[in-house]
Copies of this chain bind each other. A is one copy, B any other.
Amino acid sequence: GRKVLIVYAHQEPKSLNGSLKRVAVEELSKQGCSVTVSDLYAMQFEPRATRNDIVGCLQNSEEFNYGVETWEAYKRGCLSNDLIEEQKKVQEADLLIFQFPLYWFSMPAIMKGWMDRVLVQGFAHEFPNCYDSGLLKNKLALFSFTTGGSKEMYAKGGISGDIRYVLWPMQHGIMHFCGVKVLAPHICFAPEYVSEEKRKEMLIAWAKRLKTLWKEEPINCSPEWYFK
């Protein structure tokens, strides 16, 4: 059975994001996948990248360099426990699903903190092992999110620009950088402004997509996909 990690960032289980997460757990479990959820708000996950992420002494306590210190700490097994736990989940997963509401053209800070703190050098990348040779190659990622703005606002030529523009930092800058292949995003536009029936259709569409997810080919994660 395949292993899936859902990194989930919503405060309210009754939200559409909460339902989308539940649908994914149910559908993937039904397929025989083993599904793990990191429910970031429920875990009170720490988003701040600080000295506390390194247990014990620093390499250079005179001038703190987060990237260098976490890289060294990873190699020595001295990262804080919450990071080691998340890295284990990532290591075991075949697929990472990120489920969140779009906040300011990006992910909520609590999820950005997960990226900042979990994907440390040595674990997820280590120059020159980045992009196609990133250390998390052979894994897949999928960004599943809701928006405040409508599909029309996020169209090419719309006031908020093509929704693909906001995917560049997340899909290319983070996942592709770590060698992860990216499946097409799953976007629910403006659920707060549609009927209850439409929201139910959104859940059904997600469940349906998940049924054949493992047959999907990753996108070609290059500038053309985003900015053509």
A: residues with CB less than 8 A from B are 11-12, 14-15, 41, 44, 47-51, 62-67, 103-106, 108-110, 112-113, 115-117, 119, 131, 148, 159-161, 165-166, 168-170, 172-174, 177, 192, 223, 226-227
List, in ascending order, chain B residues with CB within 8 A of A112's CB.
Answer: 103-104, 106, 108-109, 112
Contact partner of A11 among B49, B108, B173, CB < 8 A?
B49
A147 to chain B, nearest CB (A): 11
- Whether the pair B12, A65 counts as a contact (CB closer than 8 A) is yes
In angstroms, Cα B49 to Cα A106, docked, is 14
Can you spell out 23 A-B residue pairs with CB atoms less than 8 angstroms apart? Answer: A11-B50, A12-B63, A12-B64, A12-B65, A14-B63, A15-B63, A41-B50, A47-B47, A47-B110, A49-B109, A65-B192, A103-B115, A104-B115, A104-B119, A104-B177, A105-B172, A105-B174, A109-B112, A110-B113, A113-B113, A160-B173, A165-B223, A166-B168
Cβ of A51 to closest chain B Cβ, rounded Å? 7
Query: Which residues of chain B are near A168, meaning CB under 8 Å?
Result: 105, 161, 165-166, 168
CB distance from A118 to the nearest CB of B (A): 11
Q: A104-B116, A106-B173 are in contact. List 5 more A-B contacts (CB 8 A).
A: A12-B63, A12-B64, A47-B110, A49-B109, A105-B168
Q: Tell me the smallest distance from the CB of A56 to a CB of chain B, in Å.
A: 17
- Chain B residues near A159 (CB-CB < 8 A): 131
